[in-house]
Amino acid sequence: MADHGIGTRCVQAGYTPGNGEPRQIPIVQSTTFKYASGEAMGRLFDLEESGYFYTRLQNPTNDAVAAKIAAMEGGSAAMLTSSGQAASFYSVFNIASCGDHVVSSSSIYGGTYNLFSVTMKRMGIDFTFVSPDCTDAELEAAFRPNTRAVFGETIANPALTVLDIERFARAAHAHGVPLIVDNTFATPINCQPIAWGADIVTHSTTKYMDGHGAAVGGAIVDSGKFDWCAHADKFPGLCTPDESYHGVTYTQRFGLEGAYITKATAQLMRDFGSIQSPQNAFLLNLGLESLHVRMPRHCANGQAVAEFLQAHPRVSWVQYPGLPGDRYYALAQKYLPNGSCGVVSFGVQGGREAAQRFMGRLRLAAIETHVADARTCCLHPASTTHRQMRDDELRAAGVAPDLVRFSCGLEDTADLLEDIAQALEG
Ligand SMILES: *Cc1c(COP(=O)(O)O)cnc(C)c1O
C-alpha cells in the first residue's frame, strides 16, 4: 500500500480480506480469544509469537485501523488509544519517566498543555515550553542533558500557529532525541510530518479523522526511523531488558520499526488500559475512508470564510494560515500546500459581548465544545472554556476576549457565508 496514493490508502490500507471474507473490516466484539493449549497462549504472553489473547492489549479491528493510519502517515507501526489525550500521554511517557525532561512548543492544545504542565509534572517529568516562533538560539537553550523528546503541533488548536517541523526535527536530532508531532488538525491528507523529519506522530482521531463527531479516539504512529540504540543511554526502556515483560529488549526483538509501538502496547496499554473500543475503531475507519474527499472541502470552506471575514467591516481581525499576510502563511505554503484545515479564528468588533451576540444569531453554525467535524460549529472561549478569566488574563493566555473559533464543516460555502453575514449584520 505504501506506493499507492494517499486516497487509495485511506480507502483500502490495513485490511485485505481473503476469499469469502467480509469486505468491510469486521468488528471483533470480543474481550478474549480461545486457544487449544496453555503453551500456545504462553508463547503469545512472551511475545514470541504474535496473536490475540486479550483486547486490552490487541484486537484485530483496532489493529487493522491502526495499520491504515500507519500507512497514511508513512510510518512503520501504529496503535489506537481511547482518546487523543491518551495518545499524547503515551507518546511521551513511552520514552520519558521521572527525572526526565521534554521540550514542547507552547502553542499546543489546552488539554495537552495541562497534561504536560500539571499532571506529567506531578509524575516528575519537566517540560520547557518554547514559542513555535522562537529563534534557533532560544530553541537550543531549552535542551538539557536529561531531555528525552521534543513535542509540537503541525497546526495548533486553537492558536492556528504552524510548526516549522524541519527546524524542530533538526534541533531534536542534534540532541539525540525524537520529534513528536500532533497532526490532528492537518491530518495526513494535508501534511505527513514523518516526511519532514518527525519521528512519532499523534492524533486525536475524534476530529477530522472520524469527521462525524461520532467517536472519541486517538492514535500514535512511529516512523520506525529513530535510532534508539544510537542513544541507548537516553532510552533504557527501549534498549535494555524490560523486567516487567519477561526480560524482552524491545529494540532487539522488534527492530527499530517495531520497538516503540510494541513497548507502548505491551507496557503502557497493559498498565493504563486506555484502549479504543473495536466499535469505535470501526466508526473511525468509516471516517478514514472518506478523509481525502472531506479535507479539501473543509479547507475550501475555511479559506472562503477567512477571506469573507477579512473583508467584513464588523470583523476586527482574522487568523487563518491560508490567508496571504497571515503570520504563518509562508510556513503553511511549505508544509500545507494543499490546504491547512477548516478552523478559522477571528475577532468581532465590540469585544466579548459582540462575539456572544454574533454567535447567538448564527443559524447553521452550532455553539459546541468541538471542532473539525462535518457540521459547522463555533466556540467563544472567553465565555465558555476560559470563562473564569478576566480580559487581561485571557490576553496573557493568547486568547483574545473577542476570539471566536469557527470550525467550518462540509455544508455549502454560500450557505455558511450567508449565515455569517446575517449574524454579523444583525
Ligand atoms: C482534541 C485534541 C486533542 C485531545 O483529543 P481528545 O480526543 O479530545 O482526547 C489533542 N490534540 C489536539 C490538537 C486536539 O485538537
- With cell 519477561, the residue in question is 246
The pLDDT score that the predictor gives to residue 159 is: 86
Tell me the C-alpha distance between 74 and 56, whole Å.
26
Cβ burial, residue 108 (10 Å; 0-12/13-18/19+): buried
* pLDDT tens profile 18-68: 999 999 999 999 999 998 888 888 888 777 888 898 999 999 999 999 999
The pLDDT score that the predictor gives to residue 333 is: 98
Which residues have C-beta within 8 Å of that of residue 404, sequence separation ≥ 6?
A: 345, 346, 347, 348, 355, 358, 359, 378, 379, 380
* Protein residue closest via CA to atom 6 of ligand 1: 84
For the CA of 153, the closest atom of ligand 1 is 13
Cβ burial, residue 333 (10 Å; 0-12/13-18/19+): middle
For the CA of 217, the closest atom of ligand 1 is 7
The pLDDT score that the predictor gives to residue 40 is: 84
Cis before 158? omega within 30: yes
Tell me the C-alpha distance between 63 and 57, whole Å.
10
For the CA of 108, the closest atom of ligand 1 is 13
**E strands in 305-354:** 315-319, 343-348
The pLDDT score that the predictor gives to residue 352 is: 85
* Protein residue closest via CA to atom 2 of ligand 1: 204
Cell numbers placing 27: 468488528
Q: Which of 90, 109, 119, 185 to mutate to test the pocket of ligand 1 (most atoms within 8 A of CB)?
A: 109
Helix (H, G, I), strand (E, B) or coil at 121: helix
How far lies 232's CA from each of 88, 241, 354, in Å? 23, 12, 56
Could you give the angle at which helices 351-361 and 413-425 cross, rounded to 10 degrees? 130
E strand or H helix at 241: none
The pLDDT score that the predictor gives to residue 385 is: 73
Tell me the C-alpha distance between 132 and 99, whole Å.
25
Cell numbers placing 300: 475550501
For the CA of 88, the closest atom of ligand 1 is 10
Helix (H, G, I), strand (E, B) or coil at 297: helix
pTM of the model: 0.96
* Protein residue closest via CA to atom 5 of ligand 1: 84
Q: Residues with beta carbon inside 6 Å of ligand 1?
A: 83-85, 88, 109, 111-112, 153, 157, 182, 184-185, 204, 206-207, 216, 218
- Residue 104 in contact with residue 95, Cβ under 8 Å? no
The pLDDT score that the predictor gives to residue 397 is: 63
The pLDDT score that the predictor gives to residue 78 is: 98
Question: The dihedral of CA 329, 332, 333, 334: what is its sign?
Answer: positive
Residue type, position 44, single letter: L
Give every residue of the chain whose pLDDT is below 70, as ranges: 394, 396-398
* Protein residue closest via CA to atom 8 of ligand 1: 84
